[in-house]
Amino acid sequence: MASSGGVAGAAVSKPTLFARLIKIEHSVYALPFAYAGAFLAAAGLPSWHDLLWISVAMVGARSAAMALNRLIDAELDARNPRTAARELPAGRLGRREVWLFTVVSVALLVLAAFNLSPPCRYLWPIPLAAFVLYPYAKRFTWFCHYALGLTLGLAPAAAWVAVTGGVAPQAWLLFVAVGLWVGGFDVMYAIFDLDFDRAHGLHSVPVAVGQRGALVVATASHVVTVVLLAVVGQLSDLDWVYWLGLVVVAAVLAWPHVDIARRGLRRVGMGFMTVNGVVGLLYGAVVIVAVLVG
């Protein structure tokens, strides 16, 4: 059996392995919010030049962030039964090639930064520093979930800078809203690692307050997320399309909490993570439509 598994693993192409390494399907978490930031900043359709290079920057940034996360956490992942099969601890990818992939991804980010507004040429080290620092957060603080979330929250704020060369209150609100949105889901996700984290001295909200307390924290995070997104709509003077869309986004965001309260987290499993992606796509679409038809 082991031999046939090795053959099957060897048959997987390198691009597929790297796509799994960075969880490419999870790109929907941050990319729609980057587009939302760009459309709100432009108060309409941004230039195709800006949209192209924002997209390139996001591909490079997210790829670098995930690769660095996997490199930094490789030893912990190897000890955790839930993550031991990941590409690095399982030996399907080597550290040297993942480092090379990271360098190329950072180069894409820098290239994009130099093709966007002038401040981007000097600000790209900020997200890069966040990519390096946030994987270490769980070794020191329960705030680690929100360190991850705020790292992703840089996407709409950076897109705002990319389009206008500056920031506005809406950009800061989106930064915090995404931080709370992702952080809340990550708090829920961390419940599955509660025993492992306790045994290995790692920090998380579930370790600090237990499973029930963690679910309360996640719920509060998502309530504040919706409030902040409502303020974004108010400040941007968006019409009924945005408000109707925000009601739908809020309902989708609330569903995992209702489902977990009804059936329990273990029965719901990782299904709530799919909802996380749906929320990002929905909100991005709502903003784009509201801005274009408003």
245 located within any domain:
yes
**pLDDT score at 21:** 84
For residue 12, being part of any structural domain is answered with no
- CB-based contacts of 199: which residues, under 8 Å, 6+ apart? none
pTM: 0.90
- Containing 11, the helix (H) or strand (E) segment is helix 2-11
Q: What is the pLDDT of residue 3?
A: 38
The per-residue pLDDT for 190 is 94
pLDDT of residue 2: 38
Residue with tokens 């490419």: 24
What is the rounded distance in angstroms from the CA atom of residue 62 to the CA atom of residue 39?
20
Question: Could you give the CA distance from residue 168 to residue 198 in angstroms, rounded to a whole number?
Answer: 41
Whole-number pLDDT of residue 8: 43
CA 94 to chain centre: 25
Q: What local confidence, expressed as pLDDT, does residue 26 receive? A: 67
CB 51 within 8 A of CB 34: no
Please give the Cα distance from 183 to 157 (Å, whole number). Answer: 17
CB contact at 8 A, 88 and 71? yes
What was the pLDDT predicted at 273?
72
**Is 2 a member of any domain?**
no
- Which residue spans within the chain are E strands per DSSP? none
Contacts 24+ apart (CB under 8 A), 259-264: 260/188, 260/215
Residue 8 lies in a domain: no
The answer to the question of residue 14 being in a domain is no
Burial degree of 103 (CB within 10 A; 0-12, 13-18, 19+): exposed
Q: How far apart, in whole angstroms, are the C-alpha atoms of residue 217 and residue 180?
A: 10
Query: In the prediction, which pLDDT does 9 show?
Result: 43
Cα torsion through 103, 25, 150, 130, rounded to 10: -10
Q: Write out residues in the chain with pLDDT < 50, as ranges.
A: 1-10
d(C-alpha 6, C-alpha 199), whole Å: 31
4, part of any domain: no
17 domain residue, yes or no: no
- The verdict on residue 105 lying in a domain is yes
Containing structural domain, residue 266 = 25-293
CATH of the domain at 260: 1.10.357.140
In the numeric block, which tokens belong to residue 282?
């929905």
| The pLDDT of residue 117 | 97
User: What pLDDT does 180 receive?
Assistant: 97
Per the structure, how many domains does the chain have? 1
